[in-house]
Structure 1
Amino acid sequence: MLIAQITDTHIKLPGKLAYRKVDTAAMLKRCVQELLALEPQPDLVLLTGDLVDLGRPEEYEHLKSILAPIRQRIVAIPGNHDERGAMRDAFRDGGYLPASGPFLQFALDDYPLRLIGLDTLIPGQGGGELCRERLDWLDRMLAERPDTPTLVLMHHPPFVTGIGHMDRIGLEGRDGFAAVMERHAQVELILCGHLHRTIRAQVGGRPALTCPSPAHQVALDIDPAAPSCFRMEPPGFMLHWWNDGKLVTHTAVIGDYEGPYPFFGGDGKLID
């Protein structure tokens, strides 16, 4: 099974730029083109939060129009820039989001890997939270199928990254989440967004990864006092390959670059 992960698309109303600089719609269109060119094609596409920038219904409609060429199932969780009601309406036809209730959380058992989507959103705030209610729900869902390999999806990473301004809008309830992870060895990987770059950590004995954005990336500055900045580094997405009971992750870089060039000549010898 091949899973594509796209995160932090930050789609605005048509013609609007993020931070007066980033054409997030154009960059997501390029990401979709790259995705459609993959061989083999992914079986599933995951969106791990901050789908739009201001949570407006019109932004979700714009997002859906950009994603329309993708024929695979799209599964999305909310980020801090999302709005639950508008997102629920936009993705109602997906059949996985709860029709009611305070959180957009779900467990999907349709694939070789079980998918558990968490809602870390605090309305109107940049930081996230896993309260007791959400943690208890997660614990129950994992206890239901202890022998099924599982991916946990969440927007805010459940670890301190070292990028100070992002850690200040990080996740409340990290310790409780780590305790849940310790109890459930079937969790293969925790997939996150929010940081707009690739970062790896261990949480409760389980690996966790943040994914790059198809648009702007948070500046890499391991300084508690670092200013809140982004860079136009190469955009990207991730591919998670479940094969023979093992999970392998690749970071795909979006854009035109030189190559591919062969390592070996026509004579089969390494080119020197």
Structure 2
Amino acid sequence: MLIAQLSDPHLRPPGVLYQGLVDSNAMFAAALDQLASLDPQPDLVLLSGDLVDEGTEAEYAQAAALLARLRVPLLVIPGNHDCREAFRRSFVHHPHLPASGPLHFAVDGPGPLRVLGLDVTVPGAHHGEMDAAACAWLEARLAEQPGRPTLIMMHQPPFASGIPFIDPYRCHGGERLAEIVARHPSVERILCGHVHRFMQLRFAGALLMTAPSTTTALALRLAPGAEPASFVEPPGMLLHHWRLETGLVTHLVPIGSFRGPLPFF
């Protein structure tokens, strides 16, 4: 089973640049083109939040037009730049999404894996929150199928990355999430977005990964008091490949055209 993870496209209305400087729509279209060229094709695409930049109807219409090119199932959660209700209306044809409240979901397959979408966004704020209701929902879903390999997808990561200008906007209450994950060894991966970089760490016995953005990369500035900045680095995606004999192997895949293939390995 092959799962592609895209994140943080920050789509804008047609003809409008992200932050007035970057064509995030064209960059997301390039990501979708690269997805379409994969052989074999993914069985599932995950989109881990910040689908659009300002949460407007025009942006969601642009997102729908671009996502219509996908020929494989899509699971998507909102990020802090999304508007929860506009997001819900845009994906009303996704029957697994609830009609009210946070946009949590549980989907079995395709294939052996289960995907839990955990909506930790706080409307009107940029940080996430692992509150009591989110904890109860997640605990109940993990208890339903304790032996099934499970992915948890959320937008804001529940840890401090060391980048001082993004860490205040992480998912608060990460210790509550860690307590739940530690009780459920079926959790194979926790998959996040938000930080516009690839990061990986051990979290409560599971692997936690953040996907790069399909547009700009957050500056990797680890000095205390570092000034916020972004770069137009090569964008990327994650490919999560499940095989019975190995479990889940994750690949970081740059998006773009590069020299090759060359006749050696």
What TM-score range do you get, normalising by the shorter chain?
A: over 0.9
1:159-178 matches, within 5 Å, as 159-178=159-178
Taking the aligned partners of 2:6 and 2:50, their CA distance within structure 1 comes to 10
Long gaps (5+) in structure 1: 265-272
Aligned residue for 2:165, secondary structure, equals helix
Q: Are positions 1:204 and 2:204 aligned together?
A: yes
The aligned residue for residue 48 of structure 1 is: 48
Residue 224 of structure 1, CA deviation: 2.8
In the other structure, the counterpart of 2:145 is 145
Instruction: Confirm whether residue 110 of structure 1 aligns to residue 119 of structure 2.
Output: no
- Which 4+ stretches in 1 moved above 4 angstroms? none
Larger Rg: 1
Given that residues 159 and 201 in structure 1 are in contact (C-alpha distance below 8 angstroms), is that contact kept between their aligned partners in structure 2? no
The residue type equivalent to 2:195 in the other structure is L
Match status 1:249 vs 2:258: no
Does 1:86 pair with 2:86?
yes
Query: How far apart, in 1, do the equivalents of 2:14 and 2:5 lie?
Result: 24
**Cα deviations across residues 42-76 of structure 1 (Å, max 9, x unaligned)?**
01111000000011122111011112111111110
How many Å apart are 1:242 and its aligned residue?
0.6
For the residues of structure 2 that align with 1:3 and 1:94, how far apart are their CA atoms? 18
Q: Distance in 1 between matches of 2:69 and 2:108?
A: 25
Aligned counterparts of 1:63 and 1:137: Cα–Cα separation in 2: 29
Equivalent residues in 2 for 1:40-79 (5 A)? 40-79=40-79
TM normalised by structure 1 equals 0.94
Gaps of 5+ in 2: none
Identity of aligned residues (%): 45
1:202 deviation in Å?
A: 1.5
Name the amino acid aligned to 1:139. Answer: E
SS of the residue 2:178 aligns to:
helix
Distance in 2 of aligned mates of 1:30 and 1:75: 19
1:224 and 1:49 map into 2 onto residues whose CA distance is 27
User: What is the aligned length?
Assistant: 263
Tell me the equivalent position of 1:262: 263
Please tell me the root mean square deviation across aligned C-alpha atoms, in Å. Answer: 1.0
